[in-house]
Amino acid sequence: MKLQEKPVTVNNAAAVPPRLEVTALSKTYGSGPSAKCVIEDLTFTIGTGEVVCIVGPSGVGKTTLLKCLAGLQPATSGTAAIDGRTIAGPPAEMALVFQDYSRSLMPWLTVRKNVRLPLRHLRLPEAELNQRINTALEAVGLAHAANQYPWQLSGGMQQRVAIARALAYRPEILIMDEPFASVDAQTRFELEDLCLKIREDFGMTILVVTHDIDEAVYLSDRVVVLGAKPARVLDVVDIDLPAPRDQISTRALPEFAEQRTMVLSMIRKPA
């Protein structure tokens, strides 16, 4: 698991080599008369070190798409590729934060051990292991809950444990499925900024599914708007906001409102 040494900051999609490439991807559940086509002919790319958000109505197939990207289920046709390699199983450089956070944590392990579980087979030196776990837990503000069990925590805290687990794994590509859905507004802002910070620090490529358009605009270099059934890319909106972003000043910019309106109108537009 190599991480890029130099922080990269990018705003211009065209200048970045594609890290993740989705080409004509489609996904059908089941077969025969009960077959259900969820995704049809999806194409987009994500560059190295980019933050991209996917927005779209509930049930459109966002989670399905992420599962295909994570190699958890095969695409029916088309491909998803990392650095040109077609994804056939879970790629080593990727971590996924599941939408269903309460079911994605091991209830028999404490918070700390949950974060530790994926690191076991990396055979890190003990000191680095502990340091990674501590940093991740501190980053999501859960250092104090390290020895509690997930079921003793609130939904928002559980969600943060799942995020900490992904952070400690230090993936090159981080995919999150509605990761901030049940945390309070204040924590949500902090986690959003954490997201931007780890991109700066580690050059991570980050893909986030969200229902919150403000959040999508604030976080992203680009927003992929999904719609229709089966899911298609309605539009890809390049977000042109100055870096570094700041919760107060960035959100106050007139451009922010503009981009936000653009994405919103894409979503509301009848297909």
Partner 1 sequence: MNRKLTNWALGVGTPFLLVAAWWMFSENSTNTFFPPLGMILERFQALWLFEHFESDVMLSLRNLVVGYALATVIGVGLGFVTALMPVARWALDPLIHFLRGIPPVALVPIFISLIGFGIEMRLVSITLAAMFPTLIATVDGIRSVDSTLKDVSSVYRLTRAEKLAQVYLPAAGPQIASGMQVSLQVAFVVMIASEMLGSSQGIGAMTLLAQQSFMTSDMWAGILLLGVIGFGANLVFEVIKNKVLAWYVGSKRLARS
Ligand X SMILES: Nc1ncnc2c1ncn2[C@@H]1O[C@H](COP(=O)(O)OP(=O)(O)OP(=O)(O)O)[C@@H](O)[C@H]1O
Query: Which residue lies nearest ligand X, judged by its C-beta?
Result: 63
Cα–Cα distance measured from residue 236 to residue 184, given in angstroms and rounded to the nearest whole number: 29
Told to check if 239 binds ligand X by CB under 6 A, we report no
12 Cβ neighbours under 8 A, 6+ residues apart: none
Tokens 């906001």 correspond to what residue?
A: 241
Angstrom distance (rounded) from CA 8 to CA 50: 9
- Answer for the pair 160, 141: CB distance below 8 angstroms, yes or no: yes
Q: Name the minimum Å distance from CB 107 to ligand X.
A: 22
Contacting ligand X within 28-47 (CB under 6 A): 29, 36, 38
Report the site for ligand X in 50-79 (rule: CB under 6 A): 58-64
Told to check if 121 binds partner 1 by CB under 8 A, we report yes
Query: Whole-angstrom Cα distance, residue 86 to residue 222?
Result: 23
- Pick one of 26, 45, 48, 99: the residue that binds Mg ion (CB under 5 A): 99
151 binds partner 1 (CB under 8 A): yes
If binding is defined by CB under 5 A, does position 63 make contact with Mg ion? Answer: yes
Whole-Å CA distances, 104 to 100, 112, 142: 6, 15, 17
Q: Is residue 1 within the footprint of partner 1 (CB under 8 A)?
A: no
| 118 contacts partner 1 (rule: CB under 8 A) | yes
Question: Which residues are near ligand X by CB under 6 A?
Answer: 29, 36, 38, 58-64, 99
Question: Which residues are near Mg ion by CB under 5 A?
Answer: 63, 99
